[in-house]
Structure 1
Amino acid sequence: MSTGGLSRARLVRMHDVMARHVERGEVPGLVMLVGRRGEAHVDVIGEKAFGGEPMRRDTLFRITSMTKPITAVATMILVEECRLWLDAPVERWLPELADRRVLKRIDGSLEDTVPAQRPITVRDLLTFRLGFGAVMAPPDRYPIQRAVRELQLSLGPPKPASPHSPDEWLRRFATLPLMYQPGERWLYNTGSHLLGVLIERVSGQPLETFLRERIFEPLGMKDTGFSVPPEKQERLATCYADGGESGALVISDGVGDSQWSQPPAFPDGAAGLVSTVDDYLAFGQMMLNQGQHGRERILSRPSVELMTTDHLTLEQKAVSGFFPGFFDNTGWGFGVSVVTRRDDVSLVPGRFGWDGGYGTSWASDPQEDLVGILLTQRVMDSPEPPGPFRDFWTLAYQAIDD
């Protein structure tokens, strides 16, 4: 047994099982980390691209929706400074969102609306209950989906990126009605886009500048940002997606021509960041340590406790379709999912974290004093956890040896 309470023999098992995913060609390579009681075990397997250079511990990954927890922390920094208030209407800082209209039905005309029953609050954005978000239906089934696409708002996957500045993005978004009444249900994604614009407005700084000064630099996250500078591009992993009927993987985002090779017009607070395993460990450990990492305190303990509490009611979960069974054992805090019921080896109540749709996963578990991170670069093509995800989390918990 190691001093972190992890079995060395079982960590070997972890390596062997995860290596088989690489050998079968499911992903070209991966970086995984299990940290417990301050001791981190990191394993690097495979290549940065099929037939390319070996994967490295400092390889850069598009962490997509693992951006959301960072954006939520940035928001809570402003709440702690009393520059934002959780239950204040966001129209105070985003006047474009005043006097919202709401669709009478999700498949209805954009003109068939009623007035919003109340304003959207900062809390609504953090908990994804603002009344607008991802529609779990085929593209362009509903008029609201077509309008989002035509306005180039890029509310779904981070590629293609929206070509608009934050102010123009918000101006276009504000021309749309809400899908549902504020507070009625949980809808994925859009809350984090709006939080990014809100942080810029309130702080008076570009989102990346605020994140760098208030989170990344204090935590030593030197490789995390919204783009990859030229001197670091050789460390970026190639991203793949399912090629369809052929069964082969195809490049979704390369390196030299990567979407992340230049700063974006719209810094995406929902899914825009790239990072490394050690950078995200610093963030995950800070959250596990209730806001503190080393000598740096990013948030207070009460703020982290609030962030990692399930804020959804049973009624909201019942109408908030994400994918079947998601809310059976999971709730939602501020930018993170929270395990509410134990029905698997790795689902420990109180465990919080989130995944990225380009093949990344993070969770911190206060009960086990554990941080787990898996970084791959294969776009998820199903709501079901991909094989490497499923096995990683089982293997991380079976390695506990006390």
Structure 2
Amino acid sequence: MKKRHWFGAGGTALLAAAALTGQVATPHIPLPVPRMPTTAILPATQALFDGYVTDGKMPGIVGAFGVGDGPTQFVTAGHIATTPGAPDAGPDTLWRVYSMTKPVTATAAMILIEERKIGLDDPVSKYIPGFAHMRVLTGPDSLDSRPAARPITIRNLLTHTAGLGYNIVTKGPLLKEYERLGILPESVNVAAEVKMRAVRPKTLAEFADRVATLPLIADPGTKWSYSIGLDVMGRVIEVASGLPFDAFVDTRIFAPLKMRSSFWQVPASEAGRLATNCTFIGQTMAVVDPAATSVFLQKPSFPYGGAGLVMSARDYDRFLHMLQNGGTLDGVRIASSATIHLMMSNLLPAGVTFTQVAPGTGGTTAPVPLGFGAGGSVYLADKPGGASKGTYGWGGAAGTIAWVDPVKHVRGTVMVNYFPADQWPTRTDIPAALSRDYARFRR
């Protein structure tokens, strides 16, 4: 598997804007970063984005790069669809972020952990009784199983160590069971939705109860395996908070952070901002989910905590800015700095390691040891000349990327929409371009 080093250079390169004033950005204190055109600050990145569009690799792309509390630098190119006359892609274009939903769900969980309504090492069965007696597959070629050695915990859900599967990576008889029971918590397009909705549970509660009937792929706390853990976490949040999962996220994260372009269902009034999602057959790009008839204009079966959100680059940047600042933004505190630090620290159970995730799922690998926090990967060491220990982030199945370096106080969001996520080497190209931009200010 190819390495995709998208945290390291990108994190360091974002210091370029601060270098313009000869200052190092710090959180909480606004800095006098000049309001220069993005092309003047990040010309290599702009040229890269322009080239992607000119070469037909994507209809449009938007990057949001921030340093401390200075103004976010938006780099944009192309349009939101392949049709003639489609609007330009911009900071407020809406994109399917898929697995970049996971850090948002994890933040909601951490808020409840801070409030002592959830315990990090509580058994999941405390909130969803069906998880009290889980079983584990004895082999990959049948559904034969044995009792699990230990219960699934909240930590396991947040770090993909619960032993749960995922229809995008699970194989064999267990995958067939996931499909039979409708354990399909994602939206692709209208045609696929018709088939998925016919078998998918109608509520988050029903979804979690069905998951509890399925055997695990490994004993909880023994193996990192990409999973539906954050989707199940959504049901835990409902039970612990007394609010519907989406309502909790909307009221405790989106509203106070003024994230007005983050949706579980895109309102009809906002459909004109939604990007079209594409797919590649070889090198040929085709439309898979046209914006005008997108499945994301429909109400989902239930809110998917692992892959359900549509968001703008501006909104995701605000979310990362809050993480970068240790839980606060514009004078509003979402969670304590200790809670956010815990979220972005290595939470893997003892003896479990994380190295990489399958291509196309939106995850990442790195040139330094990685751990896993709540909903995202974490650098366990500094990258020389690059990202700091503690750099946190994740990506999405349609090519989106997000990272935050809480030590250097830098962050980045990249929004595109195409399958598979690794069709083009954006996770190496973009950090390299940002690094070239940064180098201009070090001469």
| TM-score relative to the length of structure 1 | 0.90
Aligned residue number for residue 78 of structure 1: 112
Aligned residue number for residue 226 of structure 1: 264
1:2 CA drift (Å): 7.2
Query: Do residues 195 (structure 1) and 230 (structure 2) align?
Result: no
Name the CA distance, whole Å, in 2 between partners of 1:323 and 1:56.
30
Superposition pairs of residues 320-339 of structure 1, within 5 angstroms:
322-323=357-358, 326=365, 329-339=369-379
Give a deviation string over 1:302-339, Cα, whole Å, max 9, x none.
Answer: 11111111233684227x76349937632211111112
Residues 1:321 and 1:145: Cα distance change in structure 2 (over 3 Å): farther
Contact 1:158 / 1:271 at 8 angstroms: preserved in 2?
A: no
Where structure 1 has 5 or more consecutive residues not aligned to the other structure, the ranges are none
- SS of 2:292's equivalent? coil
Pick 1 or 2: higher relative contact order, CA cutoff 8 A, min separation 6. Answer: 2
Where structure 2 has 5 or more consecutive residues not aligned to the other structure, the ranges are 1-14, 22-38
Residues 1:98 and 1:388: Cα distance change in structure 2 (over 3 Å): same
Greater CA deviation, 36-45 or 94-103? 36-45
1:114 CA drift (Å): 1.0
Contact 1:329 / 1:342 at 8 angstroms: preserved in 2?
A: no
1:257 CA drift (Å): 1.6
Contact 1:227 / 1:261 at 8 angstroms: preserved in 2?
A: yes
Name the CA distance, whole Å, in 2 between partners of 1:297 and 1:178.
38
Query: Do residues 153 (structure 1) and 186 (structure 2) align?
Result: no
Query: Do residues 302 (structure 1) and 338 (structure 2) align?
Result: yes
RMSD: 2.5
Contact 2:277 / 2:418 at 8 angstroms: preserved in 1?
A: yes
Contact 1:21 / 1:388 at 8 angstroms: preserved in 2?
A: no
Query: Do residues 32 (structure 1) and 46 (structure 2) align?
Result: no
**Which of residues 324, 331, 347 in structure 2 aligns to 1:288?**
324
Give a deviation string over 1:244-302, Cα, whole Å, max 9, x none.
Answer: 4xx31111211122110022112100010011111111110000001111211111111
- SS of 1:358's equivalent? coil
Contact 2:167 / 2:178 at 8 angstroms: preserved in 1?
A: no
- SS of 1:194's equivalent? helix
- SS of 2:293's equivalent? coil
Name the CA distance, whole Å, in 2 between partners of 1:292 and 1:251.
39
Name the CA distance, whole Å, in 1 between partners of 2:61 and 2:205.
37
Aligned residue number for residue 419 of structure 2: 379
- SS of 1:170's equivalent? helix
1:3 CA drift (Å): 5.8
Aligned residue number for residue 53 of structure 1: 87
Residues 1:18 and 1:256: Cα distance change in structure 2 (over 3 Å): closer
Name the CA distance, whole Å, in 2 between partners of 1:49 and 1:11.
25
Contact 2:137 / 2:215 at 8 angstroms: preserved in 1?
A: yes
- SS of 1:326's equivalent? coil
Query: Do residues 182 (structure 1) and 214 (structure 2) align?
Result: no
Give a deviation string over 1:336-394, Cα, whole Å, max 9, x none.
Answer: 11123455865443211111111211111123211111101112254xx8323322222
Aligned residue number for residue 108 of structure 1: 141
Name the CA distance, whole Å, in 2 between partners of 1:99 and 1:248.
48
Name the CA distance, whole Å, in 2 between partners of 1:125 and 1:342.
27
Name the CA distance, whole Å, in 2 between partners of 1:57 and 1:381.
20
Superposition pairs of residues 255-294 of structure 1, within 5 angstroms:
255-294=291-330
Contact 1:287 / 1:304 at 8 angstroms: preserved in 2?
A: yes
Greater CA deviation, 235-244 or 282-291? 235-244
Letter in structure 1 aligned against 2:370: T
Quote the sequence identity (%).
32
